[in-house]
Structure 1
Amino acid sequence: MPAITAATSGLTKVYGSGDTQVVALDQVSITFKEGEFTAIMGPSGCGKSTLMHCAAGLDSPTSGSVRIGTTELSTLNDRRLTQLRRDRIGFIFQAFNLLPTLTALENITLPLTIAGRRPDPQWLERVVAMVGLAGRLGHRPAQLSGGQQQRVAVARALAAQPAIIFGDEPTGNLDSRAGAEVLGFLRDSVRELGQTVVMVTHDPVAAGYADRVVFLSDGQLVDEMTRPTPDRVLDRMKSLDTRSRTS
């Protein structure tokens, strides 16, 4: 049985109060297992990004619990939470978030540099080779295509050997070819490196790269699909969109 890398239990997130109150997450319980690629999908405003931000320790839930491994995030002070995010969680954002004055290699190793850690040379070489950046390490972001910049972001997320990687629409700013490359790298990191990946996406094609897809609607988990295909995901999304319009 694969170990559980991260889990939420009864996760609730409420914004505002009174007439302006919005329940973004409503009693969400989910596990993310070691060596598994999960896509989170659902209509706009369903709570996808809120779930990811709470699970990654970027936002605090109103109630419920979040664990990374056996560590309950609510027990950590700000310093220890920052340390846990730095050491055990990787992030890939839609906007790449690379520093323009640093080379690709410096961007990849930046989280380790900030933590005062040296990268494992063999691991770094393996990651760089996997994302096909060996000939681009001395280039700055402005000298790279969008797809190459996102490859740098993927390598940066993998470099510290985190327990789990969260991606927020990681291919949203890429054309279909570059997006497919990045999704292939994420899938390879799960299969070859045993990485755990959780990705928020609205794209059925992107979700087809995952091992499973979980669907949210109105802040609740409403369905789960294993061995997804783009067509099956699209059909399920259409039914959720219809439900959200009629509810």
Structure 2
Amino acid sequence: MTAGPLAPHASRPSTGIAADTTDLSKVYGSGDTRVVALDQVSISFRAGEFTAIMGPSGSGKSTLMHCAAGLDSPSSGSVRVGTTELSRLNDRQLTALRRDRIGFIFQAFNLLPTLTALENITLPLTIAGRKPDQQWLDRVVSMVGLSGRLDHRPAQLSGGQQQRVAVARALASQPGIIFGDEPTGNLDSRSGAEVLGFLRDSVRELGQTVVMVTHDPVAAGYADRVVFLADGRLVDEMAHPTPDRVLDLMKAFDTRHPRTS
């Protein structure tokens, strides 16, 4: 399925920094159990850009995303969304920022079992007291293939369909930045390609910002750039990635950064 043209009124300029970290470190435990998940990571996610984060298991990919999205607190360093320094927000302000300015797509669907698919999709907007843009909502629903399932509850949907609801929910409010942790991990290759293509179109046409953790070189190929982590540090970056180039670089990492048991 190919998405149609986006509404002209929805366009917005793709300038500035959507989120950034400075000297970001995250440490778990202490003494013999101390683990450094992130080690002074400084990175900017430019507005209107699709960034993929890659690296071996345990490299700090998801931790970086969770800290940048305000889902986890850093041990040291700073995180900003736009010009807002997250450490200066109280819990209520942080919750409001995540609700109003950030979209999330995770492998764990986090759907409410008593709500229909449509109610789950529009829940963040309902909580914020906002009405959805019906044209945008219709397009999101069509793209992820849920037009005939909107009245179904999560228990009546397959795992792949539940993931599509989660994807549509993140996109429905047209947030300033979307964070995805393997967002198409539970979709078949065709559905996954459709969702990634839609995210890509959102970046190109709306100036939307997408930051995606993935292990899949094909998914990374949809991004404008790929950043690579190893042992909690940024070790490389690639602009205009292709699946083959990403795969070659990942193979090189296995040589330069051998995994230890």
Q: TM-score, normalised by structure 2?
A: 0.88
> Which whole-Å CA distance do the structure 1 matches of 2:165 and 2:259 have between them?
42
Does structure 1 conserve the Cα–Cα contact (< 8 Å) formed by 2:144 and 2:191?
no
1:17 aligns with 2:26: no
Alpha-carbon shift at residue 187 of structure 1 (Å): 1.4
Relative to structure 1, the CA distance from residue 146 to residue 184 in structure 2 (aligned partners, 3 Å threshold; closer, same or farther) is farther
Residue 140 of structure 1, aligned match among 135, 149, 153: 153
Question: Any idea what the Cα deviations from partners look like across 1:194-220, whole Å, max 9, x if unmatched?
Answer: 211101011111111111100001111
- The unaligned stretches of length 5 or more in structure 2 are 1-13
- Which segment drifts farther, 48-57 or 189-198? 189-198
Match of 2:214 in 1: 201
RMSD value, Cα: 1.8
Match of 2:49 in 1: 36
Match of 2:243 in 1: 230
SS of the aligned residue for 1:202 comes to: coil
Residue 83 of structure 2, aligned match among 46, 49, 70: 70
Residue 151 of structure 1, aligned match among 164, 177, 184: 164
1:87 aligns with 2:89: no
Letter in 2 for 1:64: G
> Which whole-Å CA distance do the structure 2 matches of 1:135 and 1:82 have between them?
32
Match of 1:213 in 2: 226
Letter in 2 for 1:243: R
Letter in 1 for 2:213: V
SS of the aligned residue for 1:245 comes to: coil
1:164 aligns with 2:177: yes
Match of 2:197 in 1: 184
Letter in 1 for 2:38: L
> Which whole-Å CA distance do the structure 2 matches of 1:36 and 1:22 have between them?
31
Alpha-carbon shift at residue 151 of structure 1 (Å): 2.5
Does structure 1 conserve the Cα–Cα contact (< 8 Å) formed by 2:224 and 2:240?
yes
Alpha-carbon shift at residue 132 of structure 1 (Å): 4.2
Where in structure 1 do 4 or more consecutive aligned residues deviate above 6 Å?
none
Identity between Structure 1 and Structure 2 (%): 85
Relative to structure 1, the CA distance from residue 197 to residue 125 in structure 2 (aligned partners, 3 Å threshold; closer, same or farther) is same
Alpha-carbon shift at residue 16 of structure 1 (Å): 1.4
Alpha-carbon shift at residue 97 of structure 1 (Å): 2.2
Match of 2:120 in 1: 107
Q: How many residues align?
A: 247
Letter in 2 for 1:211: D
Match of 2:58 in 1: 45
Letter in 2 for 1:178: S
Relative to structure 1, the CA distance from residue 111 to residue 124 in structure 2 (aligned partners, 3 Å threshold; closer, same or farther) is same
